[in-house]
């Protein structure tokens, strides 16, 4: 009996420790380069909708066929969930090898040594506009390579306007004219079509308005450059329109998520980035969508700028630096990749890619739009402060409570300022 018991003990102990050891020792073989027979696998993640997923899969397949020694495992989520996932992975030390990135979060991760210094690997940036590259750099190190540029614009659906007998806008308008345009659409839309979404809830529209009034959003010391009164004034711009058919109700907007009201054919206009064209066309099924500049009370200062719409970054902990660099280089420079994405990531940042891509139809509209505003373009804003992503999403949240009528404009401004000041203090 005792022998059998000892035997069982040994077996149990052995099994337990084997399980324990195998759980600990799961780090994969550390071969840093692959071959066609034994390719290395890198992971790549991006945010976006089905349209972008389809294009990305094509680009990955093309990359793999040209680089048989590397396999790319891709996956995507929507924008909001994307950053929570990355934070979880970063805390656990397991960020994907290559990631699509946003300017809003570059400091959070770059400054905290989570991203690979791409200056240490081979990525060709000769074809890039030299004024664009600094947007991916922090303290002299390059953490992100811009894939493309985008600019803010007002979208509209010409077919819908025509059906209502409303003339197409030409984009030379001030806020008052823009508002009465929204009101007219809402009125003729008869409860089924609204003028637009409340543009004062979009941080970047506010930022553009600040620039139009020659106010800095953030000071060089990383503090807020505008006052509470500026913010109140901004939210007051649409005070008369909230709750009218000029602006789509917040309850509808919420229910349509993750699609936008414009993509769901609920509004006739939308103020947002010009590279959303492909996504909107796909979501709404519209034949044609057009772009005009945002309103400004100063016709000589539209406050517009080109922003890197997306960046490619790599994890600081990636085991496959070379493979990651080759994939990034391919995604930002290869003309065939440009041909796949067209303007859906924005207008390609690399000249090689831009020249290798034929822009037709709506893609041409986006390229033409960016050309048309060239004379108004000013320097891109400072790379946002640490924690900017949080500020941006709380801006959206507070504006939505404003639209629900849960907060007055004064209370909303107080709430946002309190959060912003707290956050800036936290990260100081």
Q: Would you count residue 257 as binding other proteins (CB under 8 A)?
A: yes
The CB-of-396 to other proteins minimum distance in angstroms stands at 9
Scanning residues 90 to 109, which ones bind other proteins (CB under 8 A)?
Answer: 90-91, 108-109
Selected from 84, 120, 174, 358, the binder of other proteins by CB under 8 A is: 84
Binding mask 349-388 for other proteins (x = CB under 8 A): --------------------------------------x-
Q: Taking CB under 8 A as the rule, does residue 404 contact other proteins?
A: yes
3-class DSSP assignment, residue 263: coil
Stretch that binds other proteins, among 16-24, 122-130, 209-217, 320-328 (CB under 8 A): 16-24
**Whose Cβ is closer to other proteins: residue 47's or residue 175's?**
47
- Inter-residue long-range contacts of 386-391, CB under 8 Å, 24+ positions, other chains counted: 386/107, 386/108, 386/111, 386/222, 386/427, 387/108, 387/423, 387/424, 387/426, 387/427, 388/104, 388/105, 388/107, 388/108, 389/83, 389/102, 389/104, 389/105, 389/108, 390/423, 391/203, 391/419, 391/420, 391/423
The count of residues in the chain is 428
x/- track of binding to other proteins for residues 19-58 (CB under 8 A): xx--------------------------------------
| Closest C-alpha among 265, 250, 282 to residue 362 | 282
Q: Which of 50, 168, 251, 421 binds other proteins (CB under 8 A)?
A: 251
- Min dist CB 50 to other proteins, Å, is 16
In 233-367 the beta strands, taken as DSSP E runs, fall at 269-273, 290-292, 307-314, 347-348
Work out whether 408 is an interface residue with other proteins (CB under 8 A).
Answer: no
Nearest to 42 by CA among 148, 149, 116, 110: 116
Binding status of residue 390 toward other proteins by CB under 8 A: yes
Spatial contact of 45 and 81, defined as CB atoms under 8 Å apart: no
CA distance 266 to 261: 5
Residue 336 CB, shortest distance to other proteins, in Å, is: 35
Confirm or reject binding of residue 163 to other proteins (CB under 8 A).
no
Cβ count near 164 (within 10 Å) = 14
Question: Binding segment for other proteins among 83-91, 120-128, 148-156, 204-212 (CB under 8 A)?
Answer: 83-91
Nearest to 103 by CA among 301, 349, 294: 349
Listed ranges 119-127, 177-185, 245-253, 374-382: which one lies at the site for other proteins (CB under 8 A)? 245-253
Cα separations in angstroms, 191 against 90, 104, 208: 46, 36, 30
SS3 content of the chain, % helix, strand, coil (to 5): 50, 15, 35
Does 112 interact with other proteins (rule: CB under 8 A)?
yes
Distance (Å) of CA 404 to CA 179, 395, 399, 407: 19, 14, 9, 8
Binder to other proteins among 33, 73, 75, 254 (CB under 8 A)?
254
Q: Which of 35, 124, 174, 426 binds other proteins (CB under 8 A)?
A: 426
Report the run of H or E that residue 385 belongs to, with start and end.
Answer: none
DSSP letter at 173?
Answer: -
Q: Give the interface segment with other proteins, choosing from 31-39, 42-50, 158-166, 244-252 (CB under 8 A).
A: 244-252
d(CA 12, CA 3): 14
Q: Which of 61, 75, 81, 408 binds other proteins (CB under 8 A)?
A: 81
Among residues 33, 35, 73, 80, the one that binds other proteins under rule CB under 8 A: 80
Is 397 one of the binding residues for other proteins (CB under 8 A)? yes
Binding site for other proteins (CB under 8 A): 2, 5-6, 8-9, 12-13, 16, 19-20, 80-81, 83-84, 87-88, 90-91, 108-109, 112-114, 249-255, 257-258, 387, 389-390, 393, 397, 400-401, 404, 406, 415, 423, 426-427
């Amino acid at each position: 009996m005792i022998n059998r018991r000892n035997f069982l003990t040994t077996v149990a102990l052995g099994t337990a420790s084997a399980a324990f050891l195998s759980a600990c020792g799961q780090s994969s073989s550390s071969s840093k380069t692959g071959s066609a027979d034994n390719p290395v696998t890198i992971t790549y993640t991006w945010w976006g909708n089905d349209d972008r997923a389809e294009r990305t899969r094509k680009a990955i397949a093309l990359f793999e066929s040209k680089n048989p020694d590397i396999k790319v495992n891709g996956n995507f989520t929507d924008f909001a969930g994307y950053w929570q996932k990355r934070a979880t992975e970063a805390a656990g030390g397991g960020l994907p090898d290559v990631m699509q990135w946003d300017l809003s979060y570059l400091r959070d991760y770059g400054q905290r040594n989570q991203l690979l210094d791409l200056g240490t690997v081979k990525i060709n940036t000769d074809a890039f506009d030299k004024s664009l590259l600094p947007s991916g750099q922090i303290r002299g190190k390059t953490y992100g390579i811009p894939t493309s540029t985008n600019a803010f614009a007002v979208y509209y659906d010409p077919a819908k306007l025509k059906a209502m007998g409303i003339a197409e806008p030409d984009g030379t308008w001030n806020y008052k004219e823009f508002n009465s345009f929204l009101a007219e659409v809402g009125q003729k839309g008869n409860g089924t079509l609204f003028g637009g979404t409340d543009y004062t809830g979009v941080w970047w529209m506010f930022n553009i308005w600040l620039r139009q009034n020659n106010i800095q959003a953030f000071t060089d010391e990383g503090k807020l450059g505008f006052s509470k009164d500026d913010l109140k004034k901004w939210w007051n711009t649409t005070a008369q329109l909230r709750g009218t058919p000029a602006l789509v109700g917040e309850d509808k907007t919420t229910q349509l998520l993750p699609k936008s009201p414009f993509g769901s054919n609920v509004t006739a206009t939308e103020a947002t980035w010009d590279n959303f064209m492909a996504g909107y066309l796909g979501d709404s099924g519209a034949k044609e969508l057009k772009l005009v500049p945002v309103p400004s009370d100063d016709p000589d200062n539209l406050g517009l700028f080109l922003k890197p719409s997306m960046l490619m970054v790599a994890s600081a902990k990636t085991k496959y630096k070379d493979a990651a660099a080759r994939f990034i280089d391919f995604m930002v420079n290869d003309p065939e990749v440009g041909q796949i994405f067209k303007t859906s990531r924005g207008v390609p940042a690399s000249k090689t890619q831009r020249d290798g891509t034929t822009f037709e139809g709506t893609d041409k509209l986006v390229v033409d739009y960016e050309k048309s505003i060239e004379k108004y373009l000013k320097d891109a804003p400072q790379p946002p402060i640490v924690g900017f992503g949080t500020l941006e999403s709380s801006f959206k949240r507070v504006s939505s409570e404003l639209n629900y009528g849960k907060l007055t404009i004064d209370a909303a401004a107080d709430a946002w300022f309190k959060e912003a000041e707290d956050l800036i203090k936290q990260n100081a």
